[in-house]
């Protein structure tokens, strides 16, 4: 009865819980890098306190324009770099999660296979 209950849980509720955990971890990684927000603000000024209009002579306005331009270029580079790294990490997390989901039904078989291999005399590190 105990083995039947474990197998029943493993291949139904347990597997569903694994899928939910993988989904939540993917969402956490996506949220950690804020990929959607980075895309929305890709060329927004980088940590610029005032990006509003500047009044004054033409030289002051030109300086403010180029300050904002440089700040936007720096922001674009940094956000693009973080987007690339975040996309790589999210993709890796997706692959790892998929492997977890696909290996989940095989895990109960591993101990049985190990006992069978031991009885047969096969040792993995002595090929």
So what's the pLDDT on residue 50? 60
The domain ranges of the chain are: 2-120
Q: How far apart are CA 50 and CA 26, in angstroms?
A: 35
CB contact at 8 A, 14 and 7:
no
Q: How far apart are CA 114 and CA 80, in angstroms?
A: 47
Question: Is the entire prediction scored with pTM above 0.95?
Answer: no
Residue 65 has pLDDT above 70, yes or no: yes
Q: How far apart are CA 114 and CA 106, in angstroms?
A: 13
Q: How far apart are CA 72 and CA 110, in angstroms?
A: 54
Q: How far apart are CA 66 and CA 68, in angstroms?
A: 5
pLDDT per position as a tens digit, 10-55: 899 999 999 999 999 999 999 999 998 888 888 888 776 566 677 8
Q: Which of 4-13, 21-30, 99-108 has the lowest mean pLDDT?
A: 4-13
């Amino acid at each position: 009865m105990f083995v039947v209950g474990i197998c029943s849980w493993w291949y139904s509720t347990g597997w569903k819980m694994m899928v939910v955990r993988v989904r939540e971890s993917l969402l956490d990684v996506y949220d950690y890098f804020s990929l959607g927000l980075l895309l929305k603000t890709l060329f927004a000024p980088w940590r610029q306190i005032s990006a509003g209009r500047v009044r004054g002579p033409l030289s002051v306005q030109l300086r403010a324009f180029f300050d904002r331009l440089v700040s936007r270029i720096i922001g674009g580079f940094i956000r693009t770099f973080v987007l690339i790294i975040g996309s790589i990490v999210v993709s890796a997390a997706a692959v790892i999660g998929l492997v977890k989901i696909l290996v989940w039904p095989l895990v109960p078989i591993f101990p049985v296979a190990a006992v069978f291999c031991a009885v047969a005399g096969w040792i993995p590190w002595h090929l």
